[in-house]
Structure 1
Amino acid sequence: MHLDIELRFVPSEFFIGILAELNEQYSEWTDGSYDWAAQTTDFLHAFSPLPKFDETLFQSPLSQRAVNDLLQVAIALLSGDYPRVRDYLGPMRYAFVIGYPRSGGSYLTKELLRTVGLDHTRVSEALAHDGFPELRETWYDWAGDRPTFYLRESIFQAAEFLVISSLYYQRKTAPHTDGTWLIPKKMHKLVYWGASFKMLLGQGRADYLTTVRHPVPTAISIYEKSGGLPEDRRFPARAPRSAIEHWIVYDLLHLGYRFDELAALDYIEAVTVSWAHYYSRLAGSGLFLGSRDEVRLVPYAKEALEGVVSDYRQRLGDEPSAAPEPFLIHDKSARHPDWQARGDQAVAAVTAQWAALGLRFPELSLE
């Protein structure tokens, strides 16, 4: 029996943008003017549409190699040929920064980029941050109901990321003393594909740095990042103002909430439900598959976050004496004393769920 399968593949704008940057055709994307990890500023940032590139972008030897590699890796992913993917990645090692938004992940990613010799303002948000690859837990979107398209899109974007990150870091950084290239990546959506990524990459090919912050200061940081607490103190489910608020809406819709129910939720209620859902799911995501030592839980605290950076710099042997940028704690929880009980309840519930699975959830402070 012979089956012919036709697949249409359109590279994502993230892949094209990073490829253009490597071809020195799109330097404006990483001109240093946008600090996506600024510790002292909360601001809304809209994604800037990429310019249109003509066919000459794909005619360079680098682009032809990238596209060819991408097709090979994507087909290997679709067919389950994980050994081929591992062979392709070779000495690449990943440091995935996972965790609920506003829990210290941007700081940690920035400092890890500095550890490998990169200025984070010169690394595109697409490559460093968590919007790309678009890993979905469901195979459809709410408007289109196109399951095949979105399952395929997630697989292809995973292949895009593996290929373009490998090419980027081999060209922009030097191998470390152990012969590997470290690739830092903030990717909170890995919670949806935890076991799949661990099985794909194989044991000992990645670290999983899981940041955790108490839900009350997390909620405050989210609304500050999104433009302030709404006057009615309700979660703006019908008109989310940021990527994080959009993500919370979809997260709660998956739990069975209706839009009218979401619109009636207090801001803290929406965030704590989403926060508890995230860390409960993470415990059973397969992230702990194999050696649990690959998963490092990092509470939102100065000593913990700076300690991760120092450990990497000492282990890699490149700049063992370089101190990380001081991590700034913004303690604003006192402005919402009525939120504390709800946040503590969420922490207690998640702690109990983890304990029931033989896992220990870290102790959290109101920072």
Structure 2
Amino acid sequence: MKNNNSQLFLLLDDFKNEDEVSNFFEKNMSAIFKNLVHIKTKWRIPCCDLEDNKRTIDALAFYNKKGERERLVLLEYKHNDPKNPISQLLGYFNILRDNKGNLVSLEKRYNKFLTENGRKKEFVEWEDFNSNQKKNFWKNRILIAVAPFFDKNRKQEAKREEEKIILIKVKKYVSKYNKKDEFVSISLVENSYKELLGMSSESIIIQIPKKEKQLENNQETLIHIPERVGESKEKENNEPSLERFLAGKEIDKKEKDKMLKIDELIRQIFGKEKKIKLTHGYLVYYDNIDKKQAKGQILGIKLTKKECSIWLEDNQTTKAFVSKPYTSNSPAKNLTRLTNIKNDEEYNKIMEILEEYLSQFKEQI
């Protein structure tokens, strides 16, 4: 690993499927979230007549911070699944809450964990709860959705007062310099949940121990995500990159950092699917192998000393931006909506719209 002043350059080598994500969190949950304990993977909800695939929760866990009341935790993992994890979590929770026998089943699971770990319950038995205590138990549940990215609609849905679902973005990488060194990045969409979960930071990288050794709480394996995590390619020296594009520009560091954030957002959503080319002084992100095709160009960037221009495709999301007819100096025929980032307010606006804009392209792939 490099020191804290260096960048950590990683190649995206994402989880192959949902089971890999599930296994990672099963082994390392308490190392990542100090206040949570993993109880059961693929836990089938008892006391209901639903089909197995409609009653199996990806993971059952509990909030287990010393001196505080235990809390139910349900986790739903997604990899490349279009199903809405938020609606799934709420559906599972409603089934649990609405059947009286499930509280007893949950307590048995939790007591088994305490016994196996030589611990005792600090508070009253759940089966002795009065009506208010039962109400508070269900009210204080923690629901967590884990996926590579969340679009704008999912983020808004998770923020609703009556739902309050925690969204966590997770991706797996390998070191650019040693493919055997594997890392997982874990980022909270809402930073306010950091203390609740017991995370050391709202964004962390875990280096996965070799030979599948499980993380120990006392291992120094949690490290902060650097300001920039570079996702490189085998032939990086010959490939255009935003860093190289910016290096030749006499632009303030603050403006360069904004562009790096845009690049990071693209990489978070698409991973290594997005390629880059330089054309007419623009840096253009595209899909197609044939760079001469106009299709597949999703975003263009042009920088001058005074401002940064972002070129996007004309669609419903970008209607608020200036329309610029294609010319021979344009980045691509389909990129005809233009916005200039001149201040932080404009930058924040484009970042909000970009996430929705890019997610639409992701869904078309």
| Same fold? TM cut 0.5 | no
- For the aligned pair, the TM-score class normalised by the smaller chain equals under 0.3
* Bigger CA radius of gyration: 2
Q: Compare the two structures and name the one with the higher strand fraction.
A: 2
